[in-house]
Amino acid sequence: MIQEKFVLKKENLHAFLEALSKDMEVFVPCHNENGATTFLPYNGQEIYTAAQTFYSPKQALNKPSEKEFFFGKKSSSVEVERVKQNGGKMIFGIRPCDTHAVKAFDKLYLEYGEVDPFYREKRDSTLLAALVCTEPCSNGFCHSMGTQEPTGHDLLMVEKADSFYIEAASSKGEELIKKHRGLLNITKFQKPELNFECKKKLDTRNLKEILDKGFFSKVWEEEGKRDLNCTSCTQVCPSCYCFLTLDKFILNTENSERFREWDSCHLQRFTKVAGNHIFRKSRESRLRQFVMHKLSYFQKNNDMMLCIGCGRCISVCPVGIDLTEIAAKIRSEFE
Amino acid sequence: MAKKMRAGFYSLSCCEGCELVVFDLEEKLLKALEFVEIVDARLFDGNHPNEKLDIAIVEGGVQSELDKKHLEEIRERSTYLVAFGACATIAGIPGIRNSLPKEMQAKLNSKAIIPVKEKVFPVPAVVKTDFVLQGCPAFTHELLDLLVALYHGKKPVLENIPVCKECKERENPCLLFEGIPCLGPVTYAGCKALCPTERAQCIGCRGFTEDANFEALRKRFRKMDVDERIIHNLFTYFNQNPFKKEGE
Ligand code: SF4
Ligand code: SF4
Ligand code: SF4
Ligand code: SF4
């Protein structure tokens, strides 16, 4: 580990991002052209660090629609050609909670069962430069979920008035600091203790058991009634990973391409099987699946909850459905 | 290559815009013509009425007895029938008259140049329809996908997904939080959230999803203090009034 501590002066921020962009695609928090905050590849735009971004950085890892491979007839055999996933990425300014969402992806795609080669390729070439939070965000509850400290990151940053404190957190991070040493200044600054409290809370004690007991609670029906099933929550959730596989023919050929597209448990088609049977037809059953997967089911197979407490699903829901409130109601009924 | 599919384009009561946008496919249209033969279509210079077809692509709604006969006759000689565009799939703009007060409807109908039916009917309400391709105008890439799939012996289905899903994939700010009533949560996706991406609310041109929660969305609009008349107009712009009670 490097002994010295560094800061990146804000006047050097763009030079630093430009230098990084020479080697990789750097996703930065910013406003998109429609005015929403999200992560986009750096192209000189203004960086947004005032608060958590409305959209999570997950599009940097999993795009809404991704080509996996091409397949086609070749005289007597079938030829399959993998589509190379774009390598060399950094998510700059990823919030601590969101790094835990990446960890959840890692658990699912790499550790639980078969390794997903597409994700492997993307993940191996992605660096995380985490920006710790010094103030609570509007709907987040990372302190309840234990996700306030970043995980699996390569660089750790703390924003100060005129600079970013930067520290290497992995050997790749160390290399980066060495490489761009010229743009950094030495500092005596010590990484501060994080001492804010989230406005929102979720009591996680025995939550899994309580929710499992509350499977038939009236709460689901009440909340389900007002659910639009618009999928906004799953779309913005940094840890929602479900996808659909589909093939598309290429015009005028015998060839096809296989795509992977984001799916959502809020949709009826999510559980549609042969014969057009739909397992989760009612709104409540779909809402329940969303909440249960986040706060109970995932934990059964992995040693973490899938919800990392970013609060985005709460901010984005047009009808104000809030999974922390649902969990609290069920707790009061079944504890 | 297998035999070319024989297709025809037909217009019932409508502006004929959907057929016209097919030309937007440009080179892709030329490529498609390698496996599709357009045997009967006014705009394609290929008028062969009464021929048997593999696929009939019908735009427009049924407003008159004439429309109805024409449609039934097309159905008769086609293997597949596609309702193409909002007028054909959900009665669309002409269908606004179905949601007007009764006296106004009567007045309007009496002024028609040819005798019209008391209501405007979408194609699936009149004949068996194999595929619906939504939108005003219809989305030609969807037509192309359908033709390609049929050519390969596949049957695509219209996915029951709301516009919001695609809107969020394009990372738009949500109009509902800016006090603008948007029909995205209850409207079939497939347009890649064209309107909200341009900061205009979705007005439902692709029809309502199968499991739309109209009541919850109307409540949301009311909470935003949207005028009742505007709410009614929005829900009945392209679609039939989802709040209409039996017998009304
Ligand atoms: S919980 Fe809210 S955001 Fe999620 S699908 Fe339902 S209405 Fe949409
Ligand atoms: S469920 Fe909601 S709070 Fe939890 S990680 Fe997903 S968006 Fe964030
Ligand atoms: S702007 Fe409209 S389509 Fe987009 S998310 Fe909001 S309600 Fe849905
Ligand atoms: S956003 Fe709505 S009105 Fe606009 S094209 Fe899509 S379905 Fe039609």
What pLDDT, on a 0 to 100 scale, did the predictor assign at position B46? Answer: 67
Does residue B156 sit at the A interface (CB-CB below 8 Å)?
Answer: no
pLDDT tens track for B45-74: 767 778 899 999 999 999 999 999 999 999
Q: Which of A233, A264, A265 to mutate to test the pocket of ligand 1 (most atoms within 8 A of CB)?
A: A233
More confident site: A170 or B113: A170
* CB-CB neighbors (< 8 A) of B202 in chain A: none
* CB-CB neighbors (< 8 A) of A58 in chain B: none
Q: pLDDT at residue A1 above 60?
A: no
What pLDDT, on a 0 to 100 scale, did the predictor assign at position B246? Answer: 66
Residue A60 distance to chain B (closest CA, Å): 12
Tell me the domain boundaries of chain A: 5-59+67-187, 207-334
As a whole number, the mean pLDDT across chain A is 93
Minimal Cβ distance to B172: which of A36, A262, A269: A36
* Distance from C-alpha of B212 to C-alpha of A301, rounded to nearest angstrom: 34
Q: Which of B175, B182, B194 to mutate to test the pocket of ligand 4 (most atoms within 8 A of CB)?
A: B194
Q: What is the number of the ligand 1 atom nearest to the C-alpha of A266?
A: 5
Among A216, A207, A210, A208, residue whose Cα is nearest residue A285: A216
User: Does ligand 3 lie within 6 Å of residue B184's CB atom?
Assistant: yes
User: Does ligand 4 lie within 6 Å of residue B123's CB atom?
Assistant: no
Q: Which bound ligand lies closest to the C-alpha atom of B169? A: 3
Which of A248-257, A286-295, B122-131, B146-155 has the least mean pLDDT?
A248-257
Does residue B144 sit at the A interface (CB-CB below 8 Å)?
Answer: yes
User: Does ligand 4 lie within 6 Å of residue B194's CB atom?
Assistant: yes
More confident site: A74 or B1: A74
Gyration radius (Cα) of chain A, Å: 22
Region of B225 (left: φ > 0; alpha: ψ -120 to 50; beta: rest) is left
Distance B197 CA to ligand 3 centre (A): 9
Burial of B11 from C-beta contacts in 10 A (0-12 / 13-18 / 19+): buried
Indicate the pLDDT class of residue A5, thresholds 50, 70 and 90. Answer: confident
Among B23, B35, B91, B32, residue whose Cα is nearest residue B59: B91
A25-31 and A89-94 beta bridge pairing: parallel
Q: pLDDT at residue A29 above 60?
A: yes
Q: Across-strand partners of B84?
A: B133
* CB-CB neighbors (< 8 A) of A276 in chain B: none
Q: pLDDT at residue B157 above 80?
A: no
What pLDDT, on a 0 to 100 scale, did the predictor assign at position B112? Answer: 87
Strands (E), A185-322: 185-187, 243-249, 256-262, 272-273, 277-278
| The pair of three-digit structure tokens given for residue A291, joined into one six-digit string | 């909440």
Region of A311 (left: φ > 0; alpha: ψ -120 to 50; beta: rest) is left
Instruction: State which residue of chain B sits closest to A228, comparing Cα positions.
Output: B213
Complex ipTM over 0.90: yes
* CB-CB neighbors (< 8 A) of A267 in chain B: 160-161, 165
Region of A229 (left: φ > 0; alpha: ψ -120 to 50; beta: rest) is left
Does residue B160 sit at the A interface (CB-CB below 8 Å)?
Answer: yes
A89-94 and A126-131 beta bridge pairing: parallel
User: Does ligand 1 lie within 6 Å of residue A233's CB atom?
Assistant: yes
Q: Which bound ligand lies closest to the C-alpha atom of B92? A: 4
pLDDT tens track for B69-91: 999 999 999 999 999 999 999 99
What pLDDT, on a 0 to 100 scale, did the predictor assign at position A3? Answer: 62
Residue B213 distance to chain A (closest CA, Å): 6
Phi, psi of B51 (to 5 degrees): -80, 150
Minimal Cβ distance to A34: which of B144, B148, B173: B173
Q: Using an 8 Å Cβ cutoff, are B162 and A230 in contact?
A: yes
**What domains are there in chain B, each with its CATH number?**
5-151 (3.40.50.700), 163-236 (no CATH)
Residue B127 distance to chain A (closest CA, Å): 23
pLDDT tens track for A88-104: 999 999 999 999 999 99
**Percent with pLDDT over 90 in chain A:** 81
Indicate the pLDDT class of residue A284, thresholds 50, 70 and 90. Answer: very high
Which of A220-229, A270-279, B118-127, B166-175 has the least mean pLDDT?
A270-279
Indicate the pLDDT class of residue B248, thresholds 50, 70 and 90. Answer: low
DSSP 8-state code for residue B179:
T
Indicate the pLDDT class of residue B1, thresholds 50, 70 and 90. Answer: low
Residue A134 distance to chain B (closest CA, Å): 25
Residue B70 distance to chain A (closest CA, Å): 32
As a whole number, the mean pLDDT across chain B is 93
- Do A32 and B184 count as a contact with CB atoms less than 8 A apart? no
Distance B204 CA to ligand 4 centre (A): 6
Q: Whose CA is nearest to atom 2 of ligand 1?
A: A317
Distance B188 CA to ligand 4 centre (A): 8
